[in-house]
Structures are given as structure tokens and as C-alpha cells.
Amino acid sequence: MKRFSPILLIALAGSIIAQQVGTLPPPPAQKPDDLDVVKITTNLVQVDAVVTDKNGKLVTDLKPEEVQIFEDNRPQKITHFLFSSSPSASERRAEPTITNKTTDPAAPSAPPTAVTRNDVRRSIAVVVDDLGMSFESVAYVRRALAKFVAEQMQPGDLVSIIRTGGGTGALQQFTTDKRRLYAAIEQVKFNLMGRGDVSAFAPLKAPDLKIPDEAESRNQTAENFRAEAYSVGTLGTLRYVVQGLREMPGRKSVLLFSDDLQIFSPGDANRTNRVQVALEALTDLANRASVVIYTMDARGLTPIGLQAQDNVQLSIPSTRSTGLGGPLGGSRARQELDREETMRRQTFYESQNGLNFLAEQTGGLAIRNTNDISGGIQHVLDDQRGYYLIGYRPDESIFNGKGPRTLHHLTLKVTRPGKFEVRVRSGFYGEADDKGAPKEKTAAQQLIEVISSPFSSSDVHLQLTSLFANDATNGSYMRSLLHIDARELTFKDAPGGNHEAVFDVVAMTFGDTTAAVDYTGQTYTIQLPEEDYQRALSQGLVYNVAVPIKKAGAYQFRIGLRDAATGRLGSASQYIQVPDLNNRRLALSGLVLSGAAAAAAQPNVKPNLRNTEVSPAVRDFRQGMQLQYGYLIYNAQLDENQKHQLSTSVRLFRNGQQVFAGGDQPFAANNQNDLQRLVVSGAIILGTDLTPGEYILQVVVTDALAEKKYRTATQWMDFEIVK
């Protein structure tokens, strides 16, 4: 994809000061073995377990002497014992909600705050097996996922929604941003290329006694191969997800929605073995990464008997050549129908066995035979409220590497009087995760690692602003402004009294269903004279890059910076939704915010650039300043006189509460060069009584000439009022 050239400039100075001295190559693909997380080592085996009483209530007060752990039925001495708990949903702080005090149904949600590893209580990967779900199941799951994001997801939850038939783009990365999760749910659709049908079961067809046995056998073999390919594909996606969860903090889990995950295939031992091998590899990886897999049969409570859509015709025309008419033909047809119904039952139970196996082997739960999918999700979330972390020292012979690869079984027993249910991982193979000294990573690998993480790195503080825009020449594009705190770069003395810094920048743009759609890696050397150097230390630097967008949808821009002298890293990311302008519906560009000190508003503040002007890349305002905003209106309708009938308004939100609402103002499109791209600007004075903190400015545009349901468009941008 052709890219607009990035530019580095002194913030607010407007002069180009960067010299590009090198291009960072894309890093080599990271192999799973490069990840170094030790869970099962030659000197420690660590497992987690959930213990509930006979009423299903979590047991939280067990002591080490009340628990026994067995490896291959041999008792082990417990050396590590810890109970880890999370507040229940009712105990947790509810996320602020928007109080919509206007008639606008699209009041903005608060932007997600940057999260650190210490903020995360649960890392949850929701995997929708669209390769193995019916049209009906997809609809049920979409509704349940929307409710999960709106009502059940809690602060401290890091969530990703992944489709087995999709790519790994912006919508399939771990996030706390509910906008991205809702957009990901919109992409959950019935996959025509999958193994699912319109309903849970394909309708039974009338028996066709004319098909030779050889042809029927070939058809069955092809169907078995197809089912195997999809099952192994689903397991491959789960393996990829589990691998990504290895480095995640908190209680780590996968919630798999599927209709069908068969392990065994009657009459096809080869297929059974191949799927079993994939399952064993997946469960071993999950157990080593401390990932619990929960499974949910998306079909709900499904009747297995004959349905209205099944063809139960028993009458077959008589033919002298076959002698299949009359009672004999009817009898054979009835036998075929009974066989098909029996196979349906067998296939149904077998499809659940695969889901049961995954949950049992990793210490999770298998939710099945219930139409309450949302209730099933809540059951899974409640199950993660607490667990015991138990470790012991294994015998050295376990990891001697001799003999066949052996699975060592783990069991846990509670010795306290009473009835308890214990769920623990099934076991592990006698291979240690020890990798020795980690390999030194290249600069490009370090940057890719930091921008791939859901957590921002702040060794070098970065602030990112990404905006959508469209012009007649370049079409749609995403403009990103990255503010760099120059005080955290290493400047060295250079000839001529200049100051020199060298740093690497990697930027990647992700689409909604594919891998990165754009990549750039560059090394910069900047040399600043004393005056510009002091200005950079005061104001920072701004990195400016624009990426063409060829397709409407969800995008995420991620960027990382590495100080060459010290290796310190910084990263930032932002998500934007690009509208489809070809549908001729009302749309807005990104909202640009800047600011200036209002006249006589701050008489006691010493005038300097940081106090008197605010860059669009920073958006840190002070009380009493003038907040200036600008944006473009696309696809506004024209009447017969080539006139618009537009009105605009602005609103201000703080912690989800509306604190200011400007009235609707008619917009006169005077002196506009392009009637399909109208430039709008305005300003408001930030009151001196506004509490410092995070705010959102929302603009609302109404087009009286547009269809009613497409008459309003909104855009918003967050900013901060600082002391």
C-alpha cells in the first residue's frame, strides 16, 4: 500500500528537522519457541485449581495441610500454596455510564484509559468458531456477546473477540475499548465456507436407494476429510490464541463458542488420530501457559429427534429391475431413516465430547444444553473469582528426556471433611519449558514486541492522535500525530554547538480482518541548535504520518519508539472507524482540537508557549483557555437551489455526565470550495470552574434533507484539563 511520507518536526515550530538515516527491516516472524514463559520447569511444577463445595460455592479458606496433590498417583510435597481472588461482579466498581440528557441516542462513551499489567484482573479470549456454527447459533451468540460487553464485562477485564474463520487484525487484539469489541461483534457472521448449516442439524433427505455403495463411501470419505480439516483449523486458531495469552497477566481464559468439535470419527481411525494429536498439543500448551479453556455449545437445548424440515418419505416407486417397490421398498427406506436418525444422535453427542474434553483437560467448564447463553457466560465469569496456585518440586527423572513422550497425570484431593468438587489441569508432558538464556532481540524485534502488546510502554512518553479524513485528490486516509516527550530522549553534543538524538520508529496499521495493512520502520537522527533544542525540551516533538485507507471499516494505528542510546521504549495506539462515503450518507471527519489562552483569562500566569497554545497532538488545556475545534462534513444533501439545511451543536462530557450543551446552530456553507467536503470550525471557552481531569468534546451535525435514520452524524475527541 502506498504511504504518505512521515515527517518529524518541532512541535509548533513548523520546520522540518529530521534526517532519515536508515530503514528498519521488518523483524523475522516470531516463533513460539522464542517466547520464554516458565510454568513447568525441571525444579517446579505449578498448577492452578478451583475448589467448590457441594452447593457450588467457591471455597476460599483451604490451608496447605488440607490439600494433597498427586502426580501419576504418587503424592507430592507442596512447596507453593496461594489463593488468588477477584471481586465478584456486584463487588466491583461499576463502569461510568452515559447519562443522555438530550434527544441524541449517540452520546459518546468515555474513551478507555491506558491500562498497565497491574490493572488487569482477567485476560479473556472469546473465540467464536464460525467455521463450525450454524446460522441460528451465530445469531444467538452475537446477542449474548453484545450483552457481555455492555453488562458483564468489568473494569480490569482485558478482552479479545476472535473468529476462527477471520484474520488477526485490529478487532481481534486484546483491549478494554468497548467500541472495538462492539465492532468485532459486528463481524461475527455466518461463514458460508464453514461446516455449519442453517440450523443445528442438516435436514434428513429421503433415502436414495439408487446410489451405489461405492459412491456413497466416497462421499462419506470426502465429508470426513472436510470435517477433519475444519476441526484441526479450529484447534489451530485456539493454539494461536493460547500462545498469545502466555504473556498476559491476571486469570487467563479462553471461552470457545462452537456447534461441533468432534474428536472421534466412526470408521476413520486416521482422522481420529490426527484430531487427537492436535487436541493433545493444544491442551498441553494451555496447561503450560496457565490458560483455562471454557467451552459452550452454541446450539443450546437442541431436540435431536425428527424435525419438521426432515424428509421422512417412505414410499419409493416400484421398479421391476430392482424389485424395490411395495412393502420391501418401504421396509428398506424405513431402515435407512432409522439409521440416519441414529447417526444424528451419535454425531451430536460426539460433537459435544470434543468440547467436553478441552474443558476437562484444562480445568475449565463445558456449558451445554442450555438456551441461556448469557447465563452461561456469567457462570464462566463467576468461576474465575478465585483459584489456588499450587506448586511442587518434581523428581529429576521426569525431565530426563529418555524414552517416549509421556503424559504425567495430576490430581488434587481435599482432605477437609465434606464434599468438594475439585477442578485442576489434567497433567503435563515430561518436557521442561526452560530455554536457557534468552536471545538478544534486534531493535526491530523489540519495537514489534512493544507495539504488539495491549499495554503501553512509557519509558519514553508518547501521546497519539489518529484522525480520519478524505479529500478529492488522495481519497480517504488516516492522519496520525505522535507527540514525543523530548526530555526522555538522549541528546549528545554535536559539532557546531548542536544537540543530537538518534531513535527508531516503527508504525503499523491494522485492519479489521487481516494482518497489518501498512508497515514502516525508520531510524531518525535529529540535530538541533540550542534555541530549537530548548524549545523541544519544553514543547516536545511531533511525528506526523498519513496512511491511505482503501476500504471502510475499523482500523488501529500502533506506533513504537526506541531511544538508540539507552534502548528505552515507548508505545501508543489508537482505534478509529472509517465510514463508507460511497453510500452518500452523512459523515464527519476526525475532530481536531487546539487551543489558545483567552484574552485576560489568566492574568497571573506567566506567558509562554505551553501556557498560551495547545497542539492538536497534545490536547492538554487549562481552565479559562479557548478550545478551538475543526472538522469536515461529508455527503451533506443539497436542495433544488443547491443549498444545504444543516445545523451543528457541541456538547461536553466529564465521567460520562454531560456538563455543557450548546444549542443547535444553523450552518451556512459560505465560501466553501467543495460542497461535498464542508469545513467547520468553532471555539468554546473552558470555564475556570471546570474540574481538572479527562473530558470529551462531541460535535453533532443534523441534515434536514437526509433520510430520517441517516439525518444525524456525530464525532468526538477526548482532552484533558490540567492544573
- CATH superfamily, domain 121-204+235-312+356-383, is von Willebrand factor, type A domain (3.40.50.410)
Q: Which of 428-432, 438-442, 478-482 has the highest mean pLDDT?
A: 478-482
Percent of the chain with pLDDT over 90: 30
Whose CA is closest to 124, among 248, 40, 15, 225?
248
pLDDT of 65 higher than 70: yes
**What are the boundaries of each domain within the chain?**
1-27+442-578, 39-86+385-429, 121-204+235-312+356-383, 582-723
State residue 419's pLDDT score. 92
Cell of 683: 471555539
**Mean pLDDT for the stretch of residues 192-199:** 57
pLDDT band at 315 (very low <50, low <70, confident <90, very high): very low
Q: Which CATH number fits the domain 1-27+442-578, given the four candidates 2.60.40.1120, 3.50.50.60, 2.60.40.2550, 1.10.3720.10?
A: 2.60.40.2550
**Mean pLDDT for the stretch of residues 346-355:** 78
Higher pLDDT, residue 296 or 307 = 296
State residue 598's pLDDT score. 66
Q: Give bridge partners of residue 541 from the DSSP assignment.
A: 10, 484
State residue 36's pLDDT score. 31
3-state secondary structure of 629: strand
Q: How do beta strands 427-429 and 74-76 pair? A: unpaired
Whose CA is closest to 634, among 700, 555, 713, 698?
713
pLDDT of 40 higher than 90: no
Q: pTM value?
A: 0.67
Query: May I ask the CATH class of domain 582-723?
Result: mainly beta
pLDDT of 613 higher than 80: no
**Mean pLDDT for the stretch of residues 645-673:** 88
Whose CA is closest to 717, among 434, 464, 443, 402?
464
Least confident of 177-186, 275-284, 434-443: 434-443
State residue 637's pLDDT score. 94
pLDDT band at 6 (very low <50, low <70, confident <90, very high): very low
State residue 303's pLDDT score. 67
Least confident of 126-140, 221-235, 381-395, 399-413: 221-235
Considering Cα of 373, then 374, then 375, then 380, what sign does the dihedral take?
positive
pLDDT band at 679 (very low <50, low <70, confident <90, very high): very high
Cell of 204: 434428513
Rounded to whole angstroms, the Cα distance separating 360 from 367 reads 11
What are the tens digits of pLDDT across the range 351-387? 788 888 889 888 899 998 888 999 999 999 988 888 8
**Mean pLDDT for the stretch of residues 248-271:** 74
pLDDT band at 566 (very low <50, low <70, confident <90, very high): very high
Least confident of 293-302, 497-506, 641-650: 293-302
Q: What is the 3-state secondary structure (H, E, C) of 412-442?
A: EEECCCCCEEEEECCEEECCCCCCCCCCCCC
pLDDT of 534 higher than 60: yes
Rounded to whole angstroms, the Cα distance separating 553 from 581 reads 11
**Mean pLDDT for the stretch of residues 680-685:** 93
What are the tens digits of pLDDT across the range 452-474? 777 777 789 998 899 999 998 88
Phi, psi angles (nearest 5°) of residue 709: -75, -10
Q: What is the dihedral of CA 127, 129, 135, 138, to 10 degrees?
A: -10
With beta carbons less than 8 A apart as the criterion, state whether 37 and 289 touch.
yes
What are the tens digits of pLDDT across the range 486-521? 999 999 999 999 999 999 999 888 876 555 677 888
With beta carbons less than 8 A apart as the criterion, state whether 538 and 547 touch.
no
Least confident of 290-294, 317-321, 654-658: 317-321
Topology agreement, domain 39-86+385-429 and domain 121-204+235-312+356-383:
no
Least confident of 57-61, 369-373, 443-447, 700-704: 443-447
State residue 323's pLDDT score. 45
State residue 102's pLDDT score. 36
Contacts of 343 (CB under 8 A, 6+ apart): none
**Mean pLDDT for the stretch of residues 3-10:** 45
Query: May I ask the CATH class of domain 39-86+385-429?
Result: mainly beta
What are the tens digits of pLDDT across the range 129-176? 887 788 888 889 999 999 999 899 988 888 989 888 765 444 567 888
C-alpha separations of 481 from 213, 557, 681 in Å:
67, 11, 20
Least confident of 63-72, 347-356, 481-490: 347-356
Percent of the chain with pLDDT over 70: 72
**Mean pLDDT for the stretch of residues 37-41:** 51
On the 0-12 / 13-18 / 19+ scale of CB atoms within 10 A, 707 is exposed
Q: Helices then strands (H, E): number in the chain?
A: 9, 35
Cell of 544: 506526523
Least confident of 182-191, 235-244, 335-344, 448-457: 335-344
Residue with cell 461483534: 185
For residue 130, the 8-state DSSP code is: G
State residue 545's pLDDT score. 85
What are the tens digits of pLDDT across the range 90-133? 444 444 333 333 334 445 555 666 677 778 888 899 999 887 78
Residue with cell 479450529: 234
Angle CA(587)–CA(590)–CA(591) in degrees, nearest 5?
A: 115
